[in-house]
Amino acid sequence: MLPFARVSIIGLGLIGSSLARAIRAKMPTVRITGTDADPGVRERVRELGLLDDVADSPGAAVVDADLVVLAVPLGAFAAVGAEIAPELAAGAVVSDVGSAKQIVVDSLGPLLPETIHLIPAHPVAGTERSGPDAGFPTLFEGRWCIITPPPGADETALARLSEFWSRLGSKVDLMEPRHHDLVLAVTSHIPHLIAYSIVGTAADLEGVTRGEVIKYSAGGFRDFTRIAASDPTMWRDVFLTNKDAVLEVLGRVSEDLAVLQRAIRWGEGDALFQRFASSRDIRRAIIDAGQDTADPDFGRQH
């Protein structure tokens, strides 16, 4: 039996449209509705035929749904929550794909009626693109989806949501929302922040032109620009909503960088070598875990 029969997706960008495509591919009998704040996006999703019905408002999109998934930037969660709350069917599961999770419990929880089950989730998958044309049905395959049920969450609702993501090809994990936010600060939010920062530094550095930065970017810099091309609205919201964990990890990042800086200043080759040599193990473990390709340079063409 399918975990859900009528799924509504609010926000039809990269993640929302990928979700629609994945449901179509893996659970073709599910009826998919949804909406997006942007009329152009709604129009495009209609053209692409990704949904059974594209509504013009969140309220209209969720009527009847047994699963509602918020796939908008985190800053829009409270507004969407307020709009859908009065329209939700009793017993519906409300979930999301947001990149921070405590904020979802805090901002959405109080808005929803008692008959609704809030089970936040985060598929750890994405690209630097955004919008409905950037989505694709295999985005979640082989990737982890972290579900962060609030204390006392309904077991059946949780089991159904786990089954839903498993059917989409994801591996499912459960976590405390706050722990999720710390782990993702390390594995995703800080890498993005650093990448944005370095790209800004390179663009503004006196003595080196932007043309030079672009020409010689193949030495490593271009890898940072990929991440730093990600959607600025989405990432602004991530840093505003996962502030505590991000600032905590950032403190450690600055300390560790200062240690390397000192080692370079004092010419401590052994310390540098040891630090650098230990990184290879993690790379190997990530490849062994199927979380990246082993092809040199990501298999990029030369």
Ligand X SMILES: NC(=O)c1ccc[n+]([C@@H]2O[C@H](COP(=O)([O-])OP(=O)(O)OC[C@H]3O[C@@H](n4cnc5c(N)ncnc54)[C@H](OP(=O)(O)O)[C@@H]3O)[C@@H](O)[C@H]2O)c1
Residue 19 makes contact with ligand X by CB under 6 A: no
- Binds ligand X by CB under 6 A, chosen from 23, 32, 41, 85: 41
- Of 4 and 140, the one with the shorter C-beta distance to a copy of itself is 140
- Binds ligand X by CB under 6 A, chosen from 3, 13, 34, 150: 13
Please list every residue from 115 through 134 that binds ligand X, using CB under 6 A.
123, 126, 130-131
- Of 229 and 250, the one with the shorter C-beta distance to ligand X is 229
Residue 34 makes contact with ligand X by CB under 6 A: no
Stretch that binds a copy of itself, among 30-38, 110-118, 126-134, 156-164 (CB under 8 A): 126-134
CB of 164: closest distance to ligand X in angstroms? 16
Distance CA 85, CA 131 (A): 26
Please list every residue from 40 through 99 that binds a copy of itself, using CB under 8 A.
75, 99
CB of 14: closest distance to ligand X in angstroms? 4
Q: Which is nearest to 118 in space by CA: 147, 86, 141?
A: 147
- Of 89 and 183, the one with the shorter C-beta distance to a copy of itself is 183
- What residue 152 binds from a copy of itself, ligand X, none (CB within 5 to 8 A, per partner kind)? none
Q: Which residues bind ligand X (CB under 6 A)?
A: 10-16, 36-38, 41, 58, 71-74, 76, 79-80, 97-99, 123, 126, 130-131, 231, 234, 238
